[in-house]
Amino acid sequence: MAAILGGGLGGLSTGYYLLKNNLNSNNNLKLYLLEATNYCGGWIKSIRTKDYVFEQGPRTIRPKGVTGLNTLNMIQDLGLSEHITPIKPDHPAARNRMIYVNNNLYLLPSSLKGVFQKNEPFSKPLIYALYHDLKKPHKQLKDDSIYNFVERRFGKEIADYAISPMICGICAGDAKEISVKFLMKTLFEWEQTHGGVVKGLMKSLFSSKTGNELVLSDLARKAQEEKWSVYTIKGGLEMFPNKLQAHLKDNNVTMNLSTKVEAIEFVDSGSVSLNIQTGEKLSVNHVYSSIPAYCLASLVQKQHPELAKTLKDIPFVTVGIVNLYFATQKPLIKPAFGFLVPPIENSPILGVVFDSCCMPDQNGTVLTVMLGGRWFEEKFGKNTTSENLYNIAVKEVGSILDIKDKPTAFNVNILNRCIPQYVVGHYERVDEIRQYIKSNNLPISLIGSSYDGAN
């Protein structure tokens, strides 16, 4: 018997893969999934109407790498292929990504030609950044912040205007704190091993590549062949966890919603007792925890305070999400993915996604404004309201995109401690957590975005 804690995408996918392995190995593993709320999907929540879709959390999925391809295999297996809307390289949402600097929107270069041209706000063509990397000596380090790394290798403008806003888009975080070893592992290794990123890239082009053992579904193969940038799900991303939930239920996983686990007790005999809020207990042989690290910390605090402390050291940030719908015939925005604001601009917003360009079937202009992140409390205090965030979002969108219309519909959400921050030393911290579990023979596996990344 095993229990999965948390019914977000991490917990649901764990159930999917455990069922698959179970089937392959002819085991008869009894599975329970315990979710605190009455909803499965975690941060993935879509509001669907006949005119628009508001995504309150994630909206696009990356198809690249082993994780991306595995996800596409799973999506095909769940029968969701026909709902996938890819964003291919020639789509405006793939080509047009902007940054907002000094009261202006600037397109980031998206072609090789663009790298040789001077693109504001950069003072020189980006090719100079590669020259900078070639001549700069390398520094032997265990880890570093992404900002320091990029400034050292490519110069301050690239760190301020290209990488810092990108980190806001990925994890609503500060590039000056996020670990390069974690988020840009290959580039960091190239610097450490070969003395620079360009030198590492050249060496990798001439070294023999190890074959990808992954068996690709038709959908994953199509994504590779057509070089999808990202993809969305028609009708809302929520369809993905809904399908996974139904799949687990159909395969006899006991789905316990509104079931908050309050403590985990590891018993000497090797079993684990889960104390549930209602006063009930569930005894299993193994636990797969997909809940945020700080939630797990409070469950193991009593028996394993040392483990709890390290788990609590993984910081999380709060993000405000304001979805706006304008029922206009003519689009109010130019076709693009949206724009991000570099932290150096000191703006209350992190960026805006142009959903009506990225997602199909939207009758009008749909935008999502992201606010706060690493700077949430600093900008809005401890007790901000949805109304305050809405007013700020509408004001910023009005002045940056020159939109004078009042939104026809909107939705505001404050997502408390929703995104883990992979700060410098994250690798070692997660290693320490897993070493503790191993050396104490604890029958628990750690899954989810707290440890190994967002996707």
Ligand X SMILES: Cc1cc2nc3c(=O)[nH]c(=O)nc-3n(C[C@H](O)[C@H](O)[C@H](O)COP(=O)(O)OP(=O)(O)OC[C@H]3O[C@@H](n4cnc5c(N)ncnc54)[C@H](O)[C@@H]3O)c2cc1C
Positions that interact with ligand X (CB under 6 A): 5-11, 34-37, 42-44, 57-61, 260-261, 290-292, 295, 319, 321, 415, 418-419, 448-449, 454-455
Output 197 or 295, the one with its CB closest to ligand X.
Answer: 295
Q: Which two tokens stand for residue 82?
A: 């026909």
Output 10 or 196, the one with its CB closest to ligand X.
Answer: 10
Shortest reach from residue 75's CB to ligand X, in Å:
13
Output 158 or 172, the one with its CB closest to ligand X.
Answer: 172
Output 63 or 364, the one with its CB closest to ligand X.
Answer: 63
Shortest reach from residue 347's CB to ligand X, in Å:
17
Shortest reach from residue 31's CB to ligand X, in Å:
15
CB 76 within 8 A of CB 217: yes
Shortest reach from residue 64's CB to ligand X, in Å:
11
Shortest reach from residue 60's CB to ligand X, in Å:
5
Q: CA-to-CA distance for 413 and 415, rounded, in angstroms?
A: 6
CB 100 within 8 A of CB 340: yes
Considering only CA atoms, which of 258, 332, 237 is closest in space to residue 47? 237
Output 180 or 414, the one with its CB closest to ligand X.
Answer: 414
Q: Which two tokens stand for residue 26?
A: 């002819």
Shortest reach from residue 138's CB to ligand X, in Å:
31
Output 96 or 289, the one with its CB closest to ligand X.
Answer: 289
Shortest reach from residue 367's CB to ligand X, in Å:
14
Q: How many residues does the chain have?
A: 455
Shortest reach from residue 132's CB to ligand X, in Å:
31
The residues, any chain, with a CB within 8 Å of residue 35's CB and separated by 6 or more, are 6, 7, 11, 255, 256, 257, 258, 259
Q: Chain centroid to CA 94: how far?
A: 18
Output 19 or 101, the one with its CB closest to ligand X.
Answer: 19
Q: CA-to-CA distance for 391 and 377, rounded, in angstroms?
A: 17
Phi then psi dihedrals of residue 283, to 5 deg: -110, 125
DSSP state, residue 282: E
DSSP state, residue 343: G
Shortest reach from residue 202's CB to ligand X, in Å:
31
Output 198 or 415, the one with its CB closest to ligand X.
Answer: 415
The residues, any chain, with a CB within 8 Å of residue 231's CB and separated by 6 or more, are 60, 61, 63, 84, 85, 86, 87, 223
Phi then psi dihedrals of residue 258, to 5 deg: 50, 40
Output 11 or 155, the one with its CB closest to ligand X.
Answer: 11
Q: CA-to-CA distance for 98 and 103, rounded, in angstroms?
A: 13
SS3 content of the chain, % helix, strand, coil (to 5): 40, 20, 40
